[in-house]
Amino acid sequence: MFDEILPCFLYVYSFLYQIIAPCSLPEQLSTNTVNRQQYLGKWYFKAAVSQREADIQKFKVLDNMVFSIEERANNTLLLIGHTRMGDICMNETWTYHVHPGRDDLELEGKPKRRNLLWSGKWANCANCFILQEVEPPLKETDTVDSLNRFMLYTRQQDVDSEVVTTFLRNSACHGMSASVILPQTKEFCT
């Protein structure tokens, strides 16, 4: 009998909790209407969250990451990343395309991946943005996306720790409890 009552109790409790203290929702920024000029330049990767550890596992071995966003012709953005893993610096470039009628960015070479841009207000940070990467289920019978992670980017290398805490807290409220914060203990690569 307890096994039947407990799920009902938890459902009612979580419903009432959402009424009393609802999760804040991030504000999506449409890539077609947002002023892209304000996002050009240098950005520091601070943290990533997901519902699954596997989605953020690759970030756990990194010390720091810094990116530069440049605008190219034909609604194309170039993201140039400098990553430090131990004493090794790695450079990588990603090309994103902005398409009319779409709110997301298309990552060249990954046409099924949706790259959504969210306001940094969700992390209580005016000089931040959040990038969500989502890939559909691997099989049609699967009900869970094969990738779904949120990544926090900041303009400053040393952002207030409350920004990251707010990002993690708001993410956890939506079931994204797997997280990684880059330690940034070593020199940034260039």
Q: What is the pLDDT along the chain (190 residues), one digit of tens a residue?
A: 544 564 444 445 444 444 555 798 899 999 888 888 999 999 999 999 999 999 999 999 999 999 999 999 999 999 999 999 999 999 999 999 999 989 999 999 999 999 999 999 999 999 999 999 999 988 888 778 899 999 999 999 999 999 999 999 999 999 999 999 999 999 999 8
Does residue 13 sit within a domain? Answer: no
Q: What is the pLDDT of residue 6?
A: 43
Flag whether 1 is in a domain.
no
Tell whether 83 is covered by a domain.
yes
C-alpha radius of gyration, the chain, whole number: 18
The number of domains in the chain is 1
Which pLDDT belongs to residue 8? Answer: 46
Burial class (CB in 10 A: 0-12, 13-18, 19+), 165: middle
**Is residue 101 in a domain?**
yes
What is the CATH classification number for the domain harbouring 79? 2.40.128.20
Residues 6+ apart with CB under 8 A from 178: 49, 50, 51, 52, 53, 55, 56
User: Which domain covers residue 98, as residue numbers?
Assistant: 28-181
Instruction: With respect to residue 96, please indicate whether it lies within any of the assigned structural domains.
Output: yes
106 in any annotated domain:
yes
**Is the residue at 148 inside a domain?**
yes
| Predicted local confidence at residue 33, as pLDDT | 86
- Taking the C-alpha atoms of residue 11 and residue 176, their distance in angstroms, rounded to an integer, is 19
